Amino acid sequence: MQRRKLGSSNLEVSALGLGCMRMTYHVDVMPDKQEMIGFLHAAVGRGITFFDTAPVYGPFTNEELVGEALAPFRGQVVIGTKFGHDIGPNGENRGLSSRPEHIKQSAEASLKRLGVEAIDLYYQHRYDPNVPIEDVAGAVKELIEEGKVRHFGLSEADANTIRRAHAVQPVTAVQSEYSLWWRTVEVDVLPTCEELGIGFVPYSPLGRGYLTGKMDETTTFDKADIRNKLPRYTPEARKANRGVIDLLSQIAEQKGATPAQVALAWLLAQKPWIVPIPGSRKLERLDENIGALDVEFVPGDLQKVEDAISKITVQGDRYPQELRPATGR
């Protein structure tokens, strides 16, 4: 397994991580817990050392699952989790809260659920417009000084927010959606990360499954699946966006790969400090994703992709208005 460092930090992880959200969240029927533990063990056996979770995925059950499954591998793996949602006593999400006292309470709870002495990478899950980012960074700085957190991260933050946070407590990684069909981070977030020595962790690097080529306008989702709410995944949008899949399929045929492997290899080729975290629950999909590390992109390939994708207009917004994350100001 190839390894990468997240920016100029000393945090070294496998070149591909694993997003664990759908092991307990946005599904109608929960996967069998023991099967998921076995799957996580298999991921470690294949060299994956970077795992992504959050309290809101469940809520709480995802951290508990990841913590239990990875307990035998303490010191060998890196777990990233998050703070910033106010989750009520009955598991209801009461909105955003990054008040310093809430961050510290959340950290203590995550430490217990994960069964660790320190959180490897602690992201603000979403920007909270009611709390200055300097206060957020300051709270995490104190947790780092206390030995309860090792690295600070931000999710879906804009360039200005990243700079302001980094000035208080160095940011190790920024996590945001990034893929061949969602590239807004290229405008100023990725340049800011490069300038400041911050790693970048793309979530949904396979477009929530669309870029695998295994989804079309007839595909149905679980009732709890968030894709039911996203404009980009309406049957009409899925049909209209087949040009993206056709492009990936053409490149895949040339390289003896699959569309999913091409999509991941394209991301990996952008910067050496980018570490995608595709989600998976099946070994065959995990193995397919890992195979992306063997797909080589040379500069000429990247330019050809750039030329081809520039002629395609992706249909459908990423989120409806009510679900759009605030990225900062």
Catalytic residue list: 57
Q: List phi, psi (to 5°) of 191.
A: -60, -35
Contact between 263 and 180 under an 8 Å Cβ cutoff? The reply is: yes
Torsion sign over Cα 116, 87, 60, 156: negative
Look up residue 257 and give its amino acid: A
Contact between 162 and 169 under an 8 Å Cβ cutoff? The reply is: no
Q: From CA 170, how far away is CA 247, in angstroms rounded?
A: 39
Q: From CA 286, how far away is CA 280, in angstroms rounded?
A: 6
Torsion sign over Cα 164, 51, 259, 313: negative
Residue 52 bridge partners (DSSP): 19, 80
Q: Which residues contact 133 (CB under 8 A, 6 or more apart)?
A: 127, 157, 161, 164, 165, 328
Q: From CA 84, how far away is CA 181, in angstroms rounded?
A: 27
Q: From CA 292, how far away is CA 261, in angstroms rounded?
A: 4
Q: From CA 25, how far away is CA 21, in angstroms rounded?
A: 6
Contact between 267 and 273 under an 8 Å Cβ cutoff? The reply is: no
Q: Are strands 78-83 and 12-14 parallel, antiparallel or unpaired?
A: unpaired
Q: Which residues contact 229 (CB under 8 A, 6 or more apart)?
A: 320, 323
